[in-house]
Homo-oligomer: A and B are copies of this chain.
C-alpha cells in the first residue's frame, strides 16, 4: 500500500503520517526499491490504535511510550497493561465529567426554552 492509499484508509494526511514517523511514533515502515514507503495491514492496525488513544486525550509523547514498550517485546506486557489501565481510568473520569457538563448545559438550555434568560 502506497502513501496516498494508506492516507485514505487511515484518514490522516501524508504530512501527518510522515510527522508521526519523524517523532518516532511510527517505526519500521517498509520501503520499496525507489525509497517510497510501503504500508502493511499491521500499520493500519497500529495507526488506528494511535488515533483511538489520541482521540481519548492521550498525548503523542505518552503514545510513544506505549510504542517503545511494544518494541521491547514480551517482557513489557505488564507495563503496557498498566499504562492502558491508567488511561482507562482517565477516560472513565472524562466521560463522567462530560455527562455532568451535558446536564448543566441542559439546565441552561431549559432556561432559554422557558424564556427565563435575558
Q: What is the number of residues of chain A that contact chain B, defined by CB distance less than 8 Å?
A: 33
For residue A101, which residues in chain B have a CB less than 8 angstroms away from its CB? Answer: 52, 55-56, 91
CB-based contact B77/A115 at 8 Å: yes
Interface majority SS (helix, strand, loop, mixed), chain A: helix
- Confirm or deny: A37 has a beta carbon within 8 angstroms of a beta carbon on chain B: no
For residue A84, which residues in chain B have a CB less than 8 angstroms away from its CB? Answer: 105, 108-109, 112
Asked if A94 meets B98 with Cβ closer than 8 Å, knowing A81-B113, A112-B77, the reply is: yes
Copies in the complex: 2
A75: min CB distance to chain B, Å: 10
- Give the interface of A toward B (CB within 8 A): 49, 52, 55-56, 73-74, 77-78, 80-81, 84-85, 87-88, 91-92, 94-95, 97-99, 101-102, 104-106, 108-109, 112-113, 115, 117-118
16 contacts across the A-B interface (CB closer than 8 A): A52-B101, A55-B97, A55-B101, A56-B98, A56-B101, A56-B102, A56-B105, A80-B117, A81-B112, A84-B109, A88-B102, A88-B106, A91-B98, A92-B102, A95-B102, A98-B98
